[in-house]
Structure 1
Amino acid sequence: MSAPPPAPVREPAWSLSRSAIGLWVTQAVLGTVVYAVIVATAIVLVPTDAGWGVPLLRWGGPAFVVLYGIVTIGVRPRLRYRVHRWEVTAEAVYTLTGWLTRTWTLVPISRIQTVDVNRGVFQQLFGLATVAVLTASSQGTVRVPHLEVDVARRVADDLARRAELVRDEAT
């Protein structure tokens, strides 16, 4: 059995597709619209003489929606794009995710069991795909989201081929 690969000393080299920003903005716009509809419905349905909560609802509700929209539409997508990174080396798959809580994941090629390419509805609209790397570890599946479709397919094919070679060498 070979020694595990050394821990990375640098961030993974590659960013997600720039189209991920558009996907995240679209999801944020939809989420903001949902919150706006909920707040507007509450404002319409709550009687004006219902008590002290009415002014809070009438002013605080729309203010919340505006603040939520600014953060989720204007800030979060670009920040996520800057911090989400990935890389495939000869020894492992590295991912770095999270814009508030950072998660570093290293998957040795020898631990890979299966590799899938998934495309959600929004990903299809933006020409994106996710590479899902299933391992035998308790962490389960490691995902490299929002890659261009052709890049995702090449990465998945390469990882599956290399994992198979490692398994063949071990037997």
Structure 2
Amino acid sequence: MSRTAVWYWAARAALGWLVVIAAQVFWLVVDDENALPVTTHAAVLVVTAVVAVAHVTVMPQWRYRVHRWEATSAAVFTQSGWFKQEWRIAPVSRIQTVDSERGPLEQLFRLANVTVTTASAAGPIKVGGLDRDTAQRLVADLTAAAQATAGDAT
């Protein structure tokens, strides 16, 4: 993973929390009928802000520490999960497609995601938070390795 991914994950989380906080502030301002007392609105807003700050601070660092990937000439390996760790291994001979994608926020941070689709019922292997150059190299390397491997990837 790129170290820049930590900032991307924090920014993405912060944007989500800003929407939640903005909705709570809007509700506080337009609640003319006082469905909830102002102090209750304020307390909920404070709790939301505390949880948001904790999430934006802890989640990206934790994610960076537990998510891993590696690609060799024989297989693609990924490790993911927060509390329950999952290892996925896809032999190169099973690779059907290799895709790269970048959303608008990822483009801003110069990051990309790579998806390796295999014949596995467990679904594709996703490698996120890569710097753009590493992602391009990974796609090229896996594509070349899959093409050089005999078999029909099933």
Structure-2-length-normalised TM-score: 0.89
Aligned AA (1:22): W
CA 1:159–1:71 in 2, change beyond 3 Å: closer, same or farther? same
CA shift at 1:44, angstroms? 1.9
Contact 1:110 1:167 in 2 (8 A): yes
CA shift at 1:64, angstroms? 2.6
Contact 1:114 1:134 in 2 (8 A): yes
The CA RMSD measured in Å over matched residues stands at 2.0
- What is aligned with 1:40? 25
Aligned counterpart in structure 1 of residue 77 of structure 2, from 87, 94, 105 = 94
- What is aligned with 2:149? 166
Aligned counterpart in structure 1 of residue 115 of structure 2, from 132, 141, 152 = 132
How many corresponding residue pairs? 153
- What is aligned with 1:148? 131
User: Is 2:105 the partner of 1:122?
Assistant: yes
CA shift at 1:155, angstroms? 0.9
CA 1:44–1:168 in 2, change beyond 3 Å: closer, same or farther? same
Contact 1:118 1:130 in 2 (8 A): yes
Structure-1-length-normalised TM-score: 0.81
Contact 1:46 1:54 in 2 (8 A): no
CA 1:73–1:169 in 2, change beyond 3 Å: closer, same or farther? closer
Aligned counterpart in structure 1 of residue 62 of structure 2, from 72, 79, 84 = 79
Distance 1:102 1:108 in 2: 20
- What is aligned with 2:9? 24
Distance 1:161 1:147 in 2: 19
Q: Which runs of 5+ in 2 are unaligned?
A: none
User: Is 2:86 the partner of 1:103?
Assistant: yes
CA 1:56–1:94 in 2, change beyond 3 Å: closer, same or farther? farther
Could you tell me the percent identity over the aligned residues? 37
